[in-house]
Amino acid sequence: MTMTDALAIEVERLRLRYGTTDVLHDVSFQVRRGEVLALLGPNGAGKTSTIEILEGFRMRSAGRVEVLGVDPARGTEQWRARMGIVLQSWRDHPKWRVRELLAFQGSLYAPYSTAQVRRPWDIDDLLAAVGLTAQAQQPVKVLSGGQRRRLDVAIGLVGRPELVFLDEPTTGLDPKARRDFHELVRRIRDEFETTVLITTHDLDEAEKLADRIVILAAGRIVADGTSEQLTRQIAGHDEVRWVQGGEHLVRHVPDSTAFARELFAREGAEIHELELRRASLEDAYLSIVRTTESSDGDAADIEAQTNGAVR
Ligand X SMILES: Nc1ncnc2c1ncn2[C@@H]1O[C@H](COP(=O)(O)OP(=O)(O)OP(=O)(O)O)[C@@H](O)[C@H]1O
Judged by the rule CB under 6 A, the positions of this chain that interact with ligand X are: 18, 23, 41, 43-49
Q: How far is the CB of 59 from ligand X (least distance, A)?
A: 12
Cβ proximity to ligand X: between 49 and 256 the closer is: 49
Q: How far is the CB of 167 from ligand X (least distance, A)?
A: 8
Cβ proximity to ligand X: between 44 and 308 the closer is: 44
**Which residues are CB-contacts of 272 (< 8 A; sequence separation ≥ 6)?**
242, 243, 244
Cβ proximity to ligand X: between 35 and 52 the closer is: 52
Cβ proximity to ligand X: between 145 and 254 the closer is: 145
Cβ proximity to ligand X: between 45 and 263 the closer is: 45
Q: How far is the CB of 20 from ligand X (least distance, A)?
A: 10
Q: How far is the CB of 125 from ligand X (least distance, A)?
A: 32
Q: How far is the CB of 42 from ligand X (least distance, A)?
A: 7
